[in-house]
Structure 1
Amino acid sequence: MNNIKVNFSIKDLENLTGIKAHTIRIWEKRYNLLSPDRSDTNIRNYSLASFQKLLNISYLNNNGLKISKIADLDENQIPIKVREIASRAKVEDHAINALKMAMINFDQVLFYSTYNNLLENKSFSEIFYSVFLPLLNDIGLLWQTKTITPAHEHFLSVHIKQKILLNTERLQLLEPKPESKTFVLFLPENEIHDIGLLFINYKLRSKGYHTIFLGESVPMESLSDLLGFFDEITFVSYFTVYPEIKDIPDYINKFHDLLLNKENTKLLLLGKRFSDFQLENIPEKISIFNSIENLVKDL
């Protein structure tokens, strides 16, 4: 149990639940919903149970229960009410909260049970779009604010990757469409965030396309080796952290000159980097997408 995070600051709770620290203080004072310990300098310190309770309170409040009504519930009635609403309402928020708890506690059993419960009513793609993507966005912010450690982020990422790979493996017996175009999926040098690219690979395979997944940190020059093997290649890449924003125009122009001279070749791009700035004068044969869903839908 030594690896479990058991103490949280009010800023941690704000980052993890999305509830402002000011609101948390009001809920404590006016409704006595939480009772943090305090240091000698009067700094609040919250337990793991307080974090879990606040997640449940947030869920109930977001689903229409007034905070005064929640405050009237007995301690043991709150999780019961959460399960009751989750069983007949939108389950995504509840699942995201459960997966956050799994991450904080490095709890594989909770991760798998939450995922399996989702599978009862949703396809894998629906789970990825409605639960995993919003969760990963939250986790990125939590890591940046040092609310969680890299170990927490890796725990969650590895388990999501396992689910993508498992579902992709089930497609391997499907033969690609006759005369199918080839998609080459890669990440640029120094880029290691491959979950989005793995999911795109899964969606392309599910549509019957031939894919070659090269993974992280691929030198641009090495991609030229594939041009002699296939008549029609669509390169796909995902920029999360690299290249640096200032280097993206040069990267794209170099890619165009080196790899897109052959007929029936093009490059599809997406990722967080393209939300940080607007790229002008995009070369021919290169398309930029604002989401995985839009890229897959366009194919």
Structure 2
Amino acid sequence: MSNYSIKDLEQLSGIKAHTLRIWEQRYNLLNPKRTDTNIRYYDDDDLKLILNVAMLNNHGIKISKIAAMSSKDISEEIIRLTDQSVDQNDQIQALTICMIEMDEDRFEKVLSTNIIKLGFEDTVLKVVYPFLTRIGILWLTGAISPAQEHFISNLIRQKLIVAIDGETGNSFGKTFMLFLPEGELHEISLLFSSYLIKKHGHKVIYLGQNTPNADLISVYKMQKPNYLLTVITSAPAGDKVQEYVDMLGREFKESEIFVTGLQALDQSLAIPSNIRLLTYAKEIKNVLVKMEEQTV
């Protein structure tokens, strides 16, 4: 069980610490514990409650009414609001609650409802990606555990793999080779790119996580793909990114290479002529649409 400060609750829920203290005193909404050195902290149950309370309050339900509701009533009202709402922030909040509670069934329902309303592609772009950004912030601040992050990331990964399997591509499209550098494990953006590429009728050679340079070069020589795509999120890092980008430009001169990810975009890199930086997830779709326009 994790421990949270009131500042953690503020960051996770969006409710100011001052307001949380008032709710605590006036409505006995939270029950802070104390360490042996008398420092106040909150536990997982407090966090789950305040996330739910924040969502209900944002929908105009007065805090006095929420404080009088049972846990069951709060849960049922949250489910009702999530099912009916088309607001992106509501859906991100619902997914955050699923992550904190590690509730796979509820996560599945929230995501499936969004896919029905928005379609798979827009669900990823408008709900999942902003949610992942939020996870990144929570991870950096220590507000969520590795287990919670891995739990939700793997569920999203499974959804993407199922969607990819539903797209067949065709023999007349271009060939894309997708891979992550050695040591890189953040696969969701690469999987989504694979989905988009196959949806637009192209072939994907998917090498996935942690691809050694020697294997990458070997497969390239065998398959001769038209395009390469990689995401550099955490590895390589620092000055090694320039070295890696230079290697890609040098070894794969006959193909156009798309590179994205925080490590690539946060640096002033000297970009080889056959490499193009993509600044956000949707940009790969724009590339595919332009390719289609050029063949018409």
Same fold (TM > 0.5): yes
CA distance in 2, matches of 1:115, 1:30: 36
**Amino acid in the other structure paired with 1:140:** G
CA distance in 1, matches of 2:244, 2:181: 9
Contact 2:169 2:200 in 1 (8 A): no
2:217 aligned with 1:224:
yes
Contact 2:229 2:258 in 1 (8 A): yes
CA distance in 2, matches of 1:230, 1:185: 12
TM-score, normalised via structure 1 length:
0.83
Query: Equivalent of 1:92, from 88, 96, 103?
Result: 88
Secondary structure at 1:283's aligned position in 2?
Answer: coil
Secondary structure at 2:176's aligned position in 1?
Answer: strand
2:194 aligned with 1:201:
yes
Query: Equivalent of 2:261, from 246, 271, 276?
Result: 271
Q: What is the aligned residue count?
A: 285
Query: Equivalent of 1:115, from 82, 105, 111?
Result: 111
CA distance in 1, matches of 2:75, 2:101: 18
Kindly, what percent of the aligned residue pairs are identical?
Answer: 34
2:150 aligned with 1:161:
no
2:48 aligned with 1:52:
yes
**Amino acid in the other structure paired with 2:276:** S
CA distance in 1, matches of 2:27, 2:51: 16
**Amino acid in the other structure paired with 2:229:** V
1:271 is displaced (CA, Å) by 0.9
CA offsets 1:235-288 (integer angstroms, 9 cap, x no match): 10001101112111121112211221x2xx111011122342332x32101111
2:283 aligned with 1:294:
yes
Query: Which stretches in structure 1 are left out of the alignment for 5+ residues?
Result: none
1:89 is displaced (CA, Å) by 3.9
Contact 2:258 2:277 in 1 (8 A): yes
Contact 1:70 1:78 in 2 (8 A): no
Secondary structure at 2:271's aligned position in 1?
Answer: coil
Alignment of 1:37-186 (within 5 A): 37-39=33-35, 41-63=37-59, 65=60, 69-73=62-66, 74-76=68-70, 82=78, 85-86=81-82, 88-171=84-167, 174-178=168-172, 180-186=173-179
Query: Which stretches in structure 2 are left out of the alignment for 5+ residues?
Result: 289-296
2:260 aligned with 1:252:
no
1:41 is displaced (CA, Å) by 4.6
1:96 is displaced (CA, Å) by 2.4
CA distance in 2, matches of 1:228, 1:234: 13
CA pair 277-17 structure 1, distance change in 2 beyond 3 A: farther
CA distance in 2, matches of 1:239, 1:111: 28
Q: Which residue of 1 aligns with 2:293?
A: none
User: C-alpha root-mean-square deviation of aligned residues, in Å?
Assistant: 2.7
CA distance in 2, matches of 1:295, 1:222: 24
Secondary structure at 2:282's aligned position in 1?
Answer: helix
Q: Which residue of 2 aligns with 1:214?
A: 207
Q: Which of 97-106 and 267-276 deviates more?
A: 97-106
Query: Equivalent of 1:284, from 255, 268, 273?
Result: 273
